Chain A
Amino acid sequence: MSTQPTVGKPVSRLEGKLKVTGAAKYAAEYDVPGLLHGYVVNSTITKGKIVRVDTGRAKAVNGVIEVITHQNRPKLAWFDLQYTDMDAPPGVVFKPLYDAEIKYNGQPVALVVATDFETARYAATLVSFEYEEEPFETCLDNNLEKARDAKKGFATILRPPPPKPTGDFEGAFKNAPVKVESEYWHGVEHHNPIELFATTTVYEGDGKLTIYDKTQGTINNQVFVANVFGLHFKDVRILAPFVGGAFGSGLRPQYQLFLCVMAALLLKRNVRVVLDRKQMFSFSHRPQSVQRTRFSTDENGKLTGLNHSAVSETSQFEDYTEQVVAWSHKLYPAPNTLFEYKLVPLDVHTPIDMRAPGGVTAMHAIECTMDQLAYKLNLDPLEFRLRNYAETDPSTQKPFTSKALRECYQKGAEKFGWQKRNPTPGSTIRRNKLVGYGMATGMWDAYQFPARMEAMITKEGKLVLNNAVTDIGTGTLTVMSQIAADELGLPLEDVTFNYGDSKKPFSMFQGGSSVTASTGVAIVVAAKTLKKKLFKKAAGIKNSPIAGASEEDVIFKDGNIYLRNDPTAYVSFKDIISLNNGRAIETTNMGAPDVLNLRKYSKAAHSATFVEVEVDKDLKIITVTRAVTAVAAGKIINPKTARSQILGSMVWGISKALHEETIMDEKLGKYINTNLGEYHIPVHADIHELDVIFADEKDTLINELGVKGVGEIGLVAVPAAIANAVYHATGTRITKLPIHFDELL
């Protein structure tokens, strides 16, 4: 009996070897016979109509098979609803090549299909459009007076409108002895995974398609393709075994999938469409937001009023919303609260969730406001937060399923050396550098969605699991295999987790830090059933060594069922299957949140980030020299991959605070830095000492595994902590992100 539990162990990624040898295949890398290559043409105007199309020159190029525009596209589904997907906001979904109308700059207007990539790319430059341009609005700041409430719809379930006011905020704020009012702003960001969005569609004949796609939701895209093109669900198979990053951009079917499938069906050929980097800026982004906070406290630093309002952009056709303004009251108690959230529709594409959507936006405003209050109160920022620590969720009065934020504060502060902080801004100098310490709190929801798991013991006595979920780099394969191995008492190498395939049982898209809870719980449920079945078979064997035992009397280990009290008495999985005439023992089960019970609780992951920055005393160049993030997210299945999730999030936080932004030229109505040279994400030289701590947070209520997810919680606190550290270093409060160092000059 040698198999040791793997949960809680830093297991290296099971697909690691495939990734470091280049053997892992991504959506654009499947070699299929007679493959045609599609290249997308995008609109060069922001709003208006196509009045003339000339595809003649492109079609005349040797090797061009077809040029598809709105004029010659095949018949499509009529109803907007058929274009919808699990993550579609209220509104009317954008339909590529549907008609002559241009809704945003960079909208796809044609697909050139050719026998090779280079020919398609060249011919794409020869397709010409004549437009009738209309005036457009792409600037949030200029259109704030148009802010209105968001429409409600299916997707609103996960993104409820702002909570109702409590108490009398205006009265409380007016009379408060200590208060801060400020405005926060951040620009548009694009996900920019390094893998370009791509789809390879294999035309199987008989209306059947096998599609290698870059997505976070194989079934979401399967349903979309079937609905839009009038195919049977079972005839559409989406495969996404490797996804080169997505960060939210793959939550909805993107236009390369649509165009690729359209071309494959029209031409009855295998087709690949890969977007270029500029086109990666032509769909889906984190919306620009303007936020206003007004927080007040009494003389002792107890919060008395919280007012948070936010205005975000959306497209003219869908009302994308985020949960921005509700967070402060989930984090801090206050008797008087007022929250508002509005949208301004602009002539841009609909935003989409981008890592920690809403949360990282909100926490920047909330935690910088808290920092300002701490200075006003002459309190240590950490002490100020502890004075306003919420043991139960102040916004619902419900207890948390677990909340080890206090431990995050303590362990994070200790590891960081927070107590060495000199409270006076600009007081710590290290040769040419001003040194600043900053901290912030983070919070993220703990989602769990239903998922179905197929599990079977094969004739080799090994466990095979099937689920449609993706692994976008999060470590899902490894984590799921660990959970399954431990449930059945098998060594990791005896577990095969098949994923990234819409043919497998249901999983939601991979978003919101939900997968470990959702898919993981489904494994637990399926494993339990499987064990029951195995036990029943084993006990029923003639002269079974475990005959007469009850299920409680046995343990599952090393591919055997042992009597707990007599390890010499056992039946192996292999024997069970062989006595089952070689047929695998299998089960398919649904794992789902215990909604009834969870209704009594609030559930969230928490974090605390401590940051040190150096700001050059003359030139104001900012460096995040070190940072510690302490995370309370329930049980950590794999501390190695979980740590990487937090580290990656911290890099995202540095990027959001100091580097990345997509710049809209409001006169041209388009983004202008649509490349990785001018859209700055951190390089290795920007990243210094980062540290991660996981608080010991046991949660027996949240789900069978006690997990909360770690994909986003590591990001939410970081930008605010950096902005607070920059203030501490310099005495200058910058409320815009990213912080341009020159604003400190």
Chain B
Amino acid sequence: MIGISLNVNQHQYHIQVSPWVSLLDALRDHLKLTGTKKGCDHGQCGACTVLCDDRRILSCLTLAVMKNGANITTIEGISGENELHPLQQSFIDHDAFQCGYCTPGQICSAVSLLKEGKAKTREEVKELMSGNLCRCGANMGIIDAIMEVKERGLYE
């Protein structure tokens, strides 16, 4: 076991983990933050997307010990206490999900996408969101939801 500290959603956690525990499993099993989802555990679906030091990464493909000292934001920390992040509201408004399982990953990915500022057009948004699969086929709603927030500048 290795003692590590993770700043998750601006809360400092000190936990003991085996080196082989993925960041995803550490979040879900150790910190009980189950908002981050496991869909493939191999970097092929994007459901486990979190922000690490403000960048979107796949928490299934990294080890918790490798993120010792890092700042992690999960879906539980995207918004303030009692309000929704504009993207969360936009996802609801556009019915950008059905089963909801890929949703936290889609939203975390989109938060990062908007911060990165690399996607200018709808086609570019689609391309840069393509690491997040949605099996319910809510793709149009997801992109609509992101475009609305992007076009209205509702993000920092």
Direct touch of chains A and B (CB < 8 A)? yes
Asked if B101 contacts A193 (CB within 8 A), the reply is yes
Closest to B18 in A: A118
Asked if A242 contacts B100 (CB within 8 A), the reply is yes
Tell me which residues across on chain A come within 8 A of B45, comparing CB atoms. Answer: 194, 676
Asked if A29 contacts B28 (CB within 8 A), the reply is yes
Asked if A676 contacts B44 (CB within 8 A), the reply is yes
Give min CB distance, B49 to chain A, whole Å: 12
In the complex the two chains form, what is the Cα distance from A676 to B105 in whole Å?
A: 16
Give min CB distance, B51 to chain A, whole Å: 13
Is A295 engaged at the interface, CB distance under 8 Å to the other chain? no
Q: Which residues of B in the span 12-50 have a Cβ within 8 Å of any Cβ on A? A: 18, 20-21, 25, 28-29, 32-45, 47
Is B66 engaged at the interface, CB distance under 8 Å to the other chain? no
Asked if B95 contacts A12 (CB within 8 A), the reply is yes
Q: Which residues of A in the span 188-228 have a Cβ within 8 Å of any Cβ on B? A: 192-196
**Residue of B29, B33, B88, B126 contacting most chain A CB atoms (<10 Å):** B29
* 20 cross-chain CB contacts under 8 A: A20-B97, A21-B78, A192-B135, A193-B99, A194-B39, A194-B134, A194-B135, A195-B99, A244-B101, A473-B98, A475-B98, A643-B95, A644-B98, A647-B140, A676-B40, A681-B135, A682-B137, A684-B130, A687-B126, A687-B143
> Which of B21, B29, B100, B123 is in CB contact (< 8 Å) with A244?
B100
Is A685 engaged at the interface, CB distance under 8 Å to the other chain? yes
In the complex the two chains form, what is the Cα distance from A677 to B130 in whole Å?
A: 12
In the complex the two chains form, what is the Cα distance from A116 to B143 in whole Å?
A: 38
Tell me which residues across on chain B come within 8 A of A12, comparing CB atoms. Answer: 92-93, 95
Interface string of A637-659 (1 = CB under 8 A from B): 00011011101111110000000
Chain A interface residues toward B at CB < 8 A: 12-13, 15-26, 28-29, 31, 116-118, 122, 192-196, 242-247, 274, 276-277, 472-475, 640-641, 643-645, 647-652, 675-677, 681-687, 690
In the complex the two chains form, what is the Cα distance from A553 to B155 in whole Å?
A: 54
Chain B interface residues toward A at CB < 8 A: 18, 20-21, 25, 28-29, 32-45, 47, 74-76, 78-79, 84, 88-89, 91-93, 95, 97-104, 107, 123, 125-127, 129-143
Tell me which residues across on chain A come within 8 A of B88, comparing CB atoms. Answer: 17, 20-21
Asked if A684 contacts B139 (CB within 8 A), the reply is yes
Give min CB distance, A712 to chain B, whole Å: 13
Closest to B17 in A: A118
Tell me which residues across on chain A come within 8 A of B129, comparing CB atoms. Answer: 684
Q: A22-B35, A195-B99 are in contact. Are A651 and B47 (CB under 8 A)?
A: no
Asked if A16 contacts B143 (CB within 8 A), the reply is no
Smallest CB-CB A-B distances: 5 pairs: A22-B35, A651-B137, A244-B101, A473-B99, A19-B100
> Which of A243, A276, A683 is in CB contact (< 8 Å) with B133?
A683
Asked if B95 contacts A641 (CB within 8 A), the reply is yes
Contacts beyond the supplied A649-B137, A677-B44: 7 A-B pairs with Cβ under 8 Å: A20-B89, A22-B33, A31-B32, A117-B25, A676-B42, A684-B132, A687-B137
Asked if A684 contacts B142 (CB within 8 A), the reply is yes
**Residue of B29, B44, B76, B140 contacting most chain A CB atoms (<10 Å):** B140
> Which of A21, A244, A276 is in CB contact (< 8 Å) with B99?
A244
Q: A650-B137, A687-B139 are in contact. Are A13 and B95 (CB under 8 A)?
A: yes
In the complex the two chains form, what is the Cα distance from A333 to B125 in whole Å?
A: 47
Asked if B135 contacts A193 (CB within 8 A), the reply is yes
Tell me which residues across on chain B come within 8 A of A245, comparing CB atoms. Answer: 98-99, 101, 135-136
**Residue of A16, A118, A677 contacting most chain B CB atoms (<10 Å):** A16
In the complex the two chains form, what is the Cα distance from A677 to B60 in whole Å?
A: 14
Closest to B30 in A: A116
Tell me which residues across on chain A come within 8 A of B137, comparing CB atoms. Answer: 647-652, 682, 687
Q: A16-B92, A20-B103, A244-B101 are in contact. Are A117 and B29 (CB under 8 A)?
A: yes
Asked if B139 contacts A682 (CB within 8 A), the reply is yes
> Which of B92, B101, B140 is in CB contact (< 8 Å) with A26?
B101
Tell me which residues across on chain B come within 8 A of A675, comparing CB atoms. Answer: 40, 42, 44
Tell me which residues across on chain B come within 8 A of A17, comparing CB atoms. Answer: 84, 88, 92
> Which of B33, B47, B84 is in CB contact (< 8 Å) with A20?
B84
In the complex the two chains form, what is the Cα distance from A318 to B67 in whole Å?
A: 49
Tell me which residues across on chain B come within 8 A of A196, comparing CB atoms. Answer: 38-39
In the complex the two chains form, what is the Cα distance from A15 to B34 in whole Å?
A: 17
Give min CB distance, A15 to chain B, whole Å: 7
Q: A19-B97, A20-B91, A245-B99 are in contact. Are A677 and B42 (CB under 8 A)?
A: yes
Give min CB distance, A114 to chain B, whole Å: 12
> Which of B21, B47, B78, B127 is in CB contact (< 8 Å) with A194?
B47
Tell me which residues across on chain B come within 8 A of A277, comparing CB atoms. Answer: 39-42, 44
In the complex the two chains form, what is the Cα distance from A683 to B140 in whole Å?
A: 11
In the complex the two chains form, what is the Cα distance from A200 to B29 in whole Å?
A: 13
Tell me which residues across on chain A come within 8 A of B100, comparing CB atoms. Answer: 15, 18-20, 24, 242, 244, 473
Tell me which residues across on chain B come within 8 A of A242, comparing CB atoms. Answer: 99-100
Tell me which residues across on chain B come within 8 A of A192, comparing CB atoms. Answer: 135
In the complex the two chains form, what is the Cα distance from A246 to B99 in whole Å?
A: 9
Asked if B91 contacts A22 (CB within 8 A), the reply is no
Asked if B133 contacts A22 (CB within 8 A), the reply is no
Tell me which residues across on chain A come within 8 A of B133, comparing CB atoms. Answer: 194, 676, 681, 683
Asked if A647 contacts B141 (CB within 8 A), the reply is yes
Q: A19-B103, A677-B42 are in contact. Are A29 and B34 (CB under 8 A)?
A: yes
Tell me which residues across on chain B come within 8 A of A247, comparing CB atoms. Answer: 135
In the complex the two chains form, what is the Cα distance from A734 to B77 in whole Å?
A: 49
Give min CB distance, B43 to chain A, whole Å: 8
Tell me which residues across on chain A come within 8 A of B35, comparing CB atoms. Answer: 21-23
Tell me which residues across on chain A come within 8 A of B98, comparing CB atoms. Answer: 245, 473-475, 644-645, 648
Give min CB distance, B11 to chain A, whole Å: 15
In the complex the two chains form, what is the Cα distance from A203 to B88 in whole Å?
A: 36
Closest to A638 in B: B95
Tell me which residues across on chain B come within 8 A of A122, comparing CB atoms. Answer: 20
In the complex the two chains form, what is the Cα distance from A23 to B32 in whole Å?
A: 11
Tell me which residues across on chain B come within 8 A of A276, comparing CB atoms. Answer: 41
In the complex the two chains form, what is the Cα distance from A245 to B142 in whole Å?
A: 17
Tell me which residues across on chain A come within 8 A of B102, comparing CB atoms. Answer: 194
Q: A21-B88, A192-B135 are in contact. Are A644 and B95 (CB under 8 A)?
A: yes
Tell me which residues across on chain A come within 8 A of B39, comparing CB atoms. Answer: 194-196, 277, 676
Give min CB distance, A97 to chain B, whole Å: 24
Give min CB distance, A627 to chain B, whole Å: 11
> Which of A474, A648, A677, A683 is in CB contact (< 8 Å) with B138?
A648
In the complex the two chains form, what is the Cα distance from A116 to B141 in whole Å?
A: 38
Tell me which residues across on chain B come within 8 A of A650, comparing CB atoms. Answer: 137
In the complex the two chains form, what is the Cα distance from A73 to B134 in whole Å?
A: 38
In the complex the two chains form, what is the Cα distance from A194 to B101 in whole Å?
A: 7
Asked if A685 contacts B101 (CB within 8 A), the reply is no
Tell me which residues across on chain A come within 8 A of B91, comparing CB atoms. Answer: 16, 20
Give min CB distance, A690 to chain B, whole Å: 5
**Residue of B47, B84, B98 contacting most chain A CB atoms (<10 Å):** B98
In the complex the two chains form, what is the Cα distance from A210 to B15 in whole Å?
A: 30
In the complex the two chains form, what is the Cα distance from A81 to B103 in whole Å?
A: 40
